[in-house]
Amino acid sequence: MQQSPFIRHRDKVMGYYSTAAWLRCVVLAMWSGSTEKVGLSQLGSIDDDHYRAFAEMTGHYRLHGENDPAFHALVEEVHARQREEQEAKEREERLEQWCRDAKACLRERGLRPGELDDRYGWFESLFDQGKTPEDAARMAAAGTPT
């Protein structure tokens, strides 16, 4: 029996580039087309290898529907990736706000807000430890080493 295209083309679907993101949308549209939409205008600009992946996956889905365990596994992997990306986006938004607040706290203590940029890794580690922006400014003012 021939290997499922959802296994064969998994690396393309799960890649970290725009055509891979589009292929993930295609997979999700096959899974739940009424809620997951995908534009097909990208078909005109993808390379032959990615078009072949698209054609093989959609052709296989046309013949077998959702009766392929590899399809289900890939959908779950795409969903997990979406959750991870959403969590990373939310963390980044919280960190950006924390940094703005920490810069304000640094100013209040008479320190340069640029101190945060100069020692970004140290400040980020404080964020990850759950320290408040006020704690970070206090520690920076006390000369806590990097």
Per DSSP, helices labelled H in the chain are: 5-8, 10-13, 18-31, 48-64, 69-108, 114-118, 120-128, 133-141
Q: What is the pLDDT of residues 54-82, one digit of tens each?
A: 999 999 999 999 999 999 999 999 999 99
Which residues, 6 or more positions from 56, have their beta carbon under 8 angstroms from its beta carbon? 5, 8, 9
pTM given for the model: 0.79
pLDDT the model gives residue 145: 59
